[in-house]
Amino acid sequence: MNDPQADLIPLAQRIDALLPQTQCGQCGHPGCLPYAKAIAAGAEHNLCPPGGQATADALATLLQRPVLALDTSAGPHYPMQRLAVIREDECIGCTKCIQACPVDAIVGAARLMHTVIADECTGCELCLPPCPVDCIDMVSVPDSDAAVQTPRGRARADHFRRRYQARLARLNARQAARSKRPRPMVPPPASAGSASQDQLKALQTRYKTSQRLWREAHAALQRAERQGQASPAMAARVADLREQADALREQIGQLMDNARQRILADTGLTLAALKQRAAETAVALGAGQRALVTARERGDETEIRRLQKQLTRLATEAAAAERTLNRALDNAGLGDST
């Protein structure tokens, strides 16, 4: 039996070519290509806030459908490019934003500071909800243009599509490799800071739920206001949910402040300083390893012996810095479970 979706693929690809490739999901679909397939199957073509009215119009022309006003119920269209910025001194290195980014625009390592590669960020905002300490801001890029239906906009979208596809391929390969590994029979022991970790994790879960409920209620209120059906009760509900989310965020911030103070008391260094030291030693070790490869290629025996001694020292320092950081995080309740 023929797959009815097969006949839609060529049209879906042409639709996908007009979408901004932010992979943000604001349209209600898990990415631009799934939305393109839905449009090809009959879904509305005006549900892409990042693409703006120009994209809705371009899709109407392609599909020979009536022009529809952009539906901004899931979010506004921004005239300038937007990107995520991590407040690095507040980042705990949980890697959750890295896992959420659809185009691998965030770099960093576990328990070390993360940063966003500005030129690769699509502005999708998918890194915001999973951040347990709310240390990511969305900013507009001055003197930029978010228009998708221009040569520059299409080039950016094509670039984002390639990065998204490369990420999917990498994740699929990793999943395939993991599926072949034997699973451990005994769970690892709980860390010393497990009680604090559980408390922080519970607050983070409640905060995310509260944020989601507020966004849904706020979007409903905006739709009701446009239709002239808003009520004081709806506005009060939105305000109440905002207060609940803010209160939970404040509690999380207090726990984080307490954890940082404990780390400072235990080690004599701030969390940022510990992460910086671990990062610097890791970078120095990597540079030394590359220099050793170069020396071996040249056959420089004197340089090889010198670098081998240096690498022994750097490896010891890097391991010690990482152990100190990990121990401090565990004792403060900021271990891997956060």
Does residue 153 lie within any of the structural domains?
A: no
Does residue 275 lie within any of the structural domains?
A: yes
Q: How much of the chain exceeds pLDDT 90, in percent?
A: 33
Asked whether residue 1 carries a pLDDT value surpassing 50, the answer given is no
* Two structure tokens written together for 194: 């497990």
Q: The domain containing residue 52 runs over which residues?
A: 4-63
Phi, psi dihedrals of residue 128, rounded to the nearest 5°: -70, -55
Query: The CATH number of the domain where 118 resides is what?
Result: 3.30.70.20
pLDDT digits 0-9 by tens, 163-221: 999 999 888 888 887 777 665 554 444 444 555 667 777 777 787 787 788 788 888 87
Number of domains in the chain: 4
In this structure, are residues 234 and 220 in contact, taking their beta carbons and an 8 Å threshold? Answer: yes
Does this model's pTM top 0.85? My answer is no
Residue burial 39-48, b: 16+ Cβ < 10 Å; e: rest: bbeeeebbbb
Query: The CATH number of the domain where 22 resides is what?
Result: 1.10.15.40
Asked whether residue 338 carries a pLDDT value surpassing 50, the answer given is no
pLDDT digits 0-9 by tens, 113-134: 788 988 899 999 999 988 888 8
| Average of per-residue pLDDT values in the chain | 83
pLDDT digits 0-9 by tens, 146-159: 899 999 999 999 99
Give the whole-angstrom CA distance, residue 267 versus residue 249.
Answer: 27
Q: Using 50, 70 and 90 to split pLDDT, how confident is the model at 250?
A: confident
